[in-house]
Chains A and B, each alone.
Chain A
């Protein structure tokens, strides 16, 4: 260190006369940092915990990865580290081909639902300290794997689209600029609006596996609009017909798997059950 510092100093002094130095200087600084950082890391490493990740690997385009396998990564553990942090570390440090979806890193985008230690969880929401080590990370079950931890979400999105997940009633009541919703109604649909389309529930549901069942997320979406007072009778009727069809709410066997895994704590089974009762009420006629 002591020899390094004056060295760079003289270099930059010489450079300022000869050529435009900023880029050069920045590169030198970068080089210096690179030389120093591994040293400081290794000195810290001796007393630092490392967490072992067992990560599912598969890539149909690479000869050696056509057969799925598990790779081990040893990642230095820091306090507050999430599964996603560890995966990012592993990718940036050990294997740049390690592939997984992630975006916001705060449980809003719904990209990083993974099968972690035998349960569907969001990588960014799951603390490593809450898990048993080694941590086993797989792509979501019941969906086809495209590469490593990336699954094909096409079927999930199709099911979501099947319930028309958007507000349909454009009519504004007389004399109003906007559609009003009272507090009770807002409270009623509050939890159902929290869905982030991560697909964890669909993956945990063994009825949805392989079949054409709408799935908890899509039914929850339907619940959000059926229960919304601002949509009027005809639209609600249309929605009820979708959810009480063959692949709708009646496929649910109340196993509560979706409710257990939902990262946003949406009471999915409760919503499905309520829609079942709505469907029955809709068809009951006493005259």
Chain B
């Protein structure tokens, strides 16, 4: 078998467009997990400005909140967190062996709910800007 051929990129050709629901759920769960870890570190960094006193902390937060991009990122953060929670619940049921036949539907449902909550949060996060 020394002459057999490893196809390299050919075997993955166009594969991502053919991912099934379960695969997308896995990819998004990993992605949102990493985003949340990244957020955790920036969150600690921002909060730790309180060590340098009230004015420093208030100034940092007000400065960040005055940036439009931060407001948009907050909507994104909420969406990421909500999806991670909902898909986490879905995975919990999968681990318990409940509703495995509906695993694709529960993934789509968590996507829809995430979208609805993210859109619903826009007035809160972007209002008064």
In angstroms, Cα B43 to Cα A188, docked, is 50
CB-CB under 8 A from B61, the residues of chain A are none
Contact B5 A68 (CB under 8 A): yes
- Name the CB-closest residue of B to A56: B10
Residues of B in contact (CB 8 Å), total: 27
- Size bin of chain A's contact surface: 20 to 34
Contact A68 B26 (CB under 8 A): no
Tell me whether B3 is interfacial, beta carbon within 8 Å: yes
- Name the CB-closest residue of B to A260: B20
CB-CB under 8 A from B91, the residues of chain A are 254
Tell me whether A144 is interfacial, beta carbon within 8 Å: yes
Tell me whether A58 is interfacial, beta carbon within 8 Å: yes
Tell me whether A257 is interfacial, beta carbon within 8 Å: yes
A58 to chain B, nearest CB (A): 6
Which of B11-19, B69-77, B120-128 contacts its partner? B11-19
In angstroms, Cα B21 to Cα A256, docked, is 8
Contact A255 B23 (CB under 8 A): yes
Residues facing B in A61-75 (CB within 8 A) are 61, 68
Which of A104-112, A166-174, A191-199, A268-276 contacts its partner? A268-276
With known contacts A254-B91, A256-B23, A270–B4 Cβ distance under 8 A? no
Which of B32-40, B47-55, B95-103, B110-118 contacts its partner? B95-103
Tell me whether A253 is interfacial, beta carbon within 8 Å: yes
A63 to chain B, nearest CB (A): 14
Which of A119, A145, A146, A254 makes the CB contact (< 8 A) with B22? A254
Q: 9 smallest A-B Cβ distances: which pairs?
A: A256-B22, A141-B11, A144-B4, A118-B18, A60-B3, A255-B26, A255-B22, A145-B5, A146-B4
Q: Can you give 21 A-B contacts (C-beta < 8 A)?
A: A68-B7, A118-B15, A139-B7, A141-B7, A141-B11, A141-B15, A145-B4, A145-B6, A154-B1, A255-B20, A255-B22, A255-B26, A256-B20, A256-B21, A256-B23, A259-B22, A267-B100, A269-B22, A269-B103, A270-B100, A273-B100
